[in-house]
Structure 1
Amino acid sequence: MRRDDRDDPFDEFFREIERMMNDVMDDARARGGAGAGGPAPSDPSGADVHLDVYEEDDSLRVVADIPGVDKDDIDLRCDGEVLTLDAAADAREYHERVRLPARVDEHSASASYNNGILEVTFDRADDSANIDLS
């Protein structure tokens, strides 16, 4: 016995999802959004970057999702208090400034980039310095 596709109980559900996705894509095309055949968004705020900061005992770790970027096209800078991320891909650009929750030793930074995930680790800077009396 051959099953009739018209009797599929999920057919209406999938049609509604497809309709909603088409509406979203049409709205994106109307605004000229990235991934919709239009130019990349001109918003330099880095709103596309999903970024998490993890505080550990002696270190601070920043993890960012920046898919579609070549490793050589990532520029990272840190002054000990703010991490600046600039990256460019064919479809979009990422610009993000992150105020770190603790002062870090920017010279201790190590970074890795794998499958669109950037991870930067810093050693925490000493909060105070010992002062010798002479």
Structure 2
Amino acid sequence: MRRDDRDDPFDDLFREIERMMDEMMEGGTGFDNDQSGFSTDTHVDVHETDDEVRVIADLPGVEKDDISVQCDGEHVTISAHGDTREYDERISLPGAVDPRSGEASYNNGILEITFERTSDSTNIDVE
């Protein structure tokens, strides 16, 4: 049953929330899922602090040696190829990181990658 919102000043907001919830329940993300090798049962989280950015991905069914991780400072690309599954994902990071600071561990199907944040700006000496 739909609520009575004829005179509701928040009608547009509630409709947008309902649209987003419907989209989530249908499995849509608003992004082009065809470019993602991750299935709907794979979960990727990105956590950030003032000092670091951490990416955690569920990669069940693959061996550690079959995982490839690349970072350009703004995105992380994870590729993993197992006997029954194949994953390819490019994840946008919430801020600039030092790609050389990356440390990764893989345990029981969970990949965890940690990067140190870098400053978005640089001091320029005026001569």
Fold similarity call, TM over 0.5: yes
How many Å separate the matches in 1 of 2:106 and 2:38? 20
Q: Structure 1 or 2: larger strand share?
A: 1
2:102 is paired with a residue whose SS is strand
Are the aligned partners of 1:112 and 1:119 in contact in 2 as well (CA < 8 Å)? yes
**1:106 is matched with which residue?**
99
Which of 44, 47, 67 is the equivalent residue of 2:60?
Answer: 67
Which of 25, 36, 39 is the equivalent residue of 1:45?
Answer: 36
Specify the code of the residue in structure 2 equivalent to 1:104: V
Q: CA deviation at 1:126?
A: 1.0
Higher-Rg structure is 1
Q: CA deviation at 1:95?
A: 0.6
**1:10 is matched with which residue?**
none
How many Å separate the matches in 2 of 1:112 and 1:47? 19
- What CA deviation, in whole Å up to 9, does each residue of 1:81-105 have, x standing for no partner? 1100000111110011101111111
**1:82 is matched with which residue?**
75
Kindly report the root-mean-square deviation, in angstroms, between the aligned alpha carbons of the 2 structures.
1.2
Q: CA deviation at 1:119?
A: 0.2
Unaligned residue ranges in structure 2 (runs of 5+) = 1-33
Q: CA deviation at 1:46?
A: 2.3
So what's the TM-score if we normalise by structure 1?
Answer: 0.65
Number of aligned residue pairs: 92
So what's the TM-score if we normalise by structure 2?
Answer: 0.69
1:104 is paired with a residue whose SS is coil
Which of 54, 58, 82 is the equivalent residue of 2:51?
Answer: 58
Unaligned residue ranges in structure 1 (runs of 5+) = 1-42
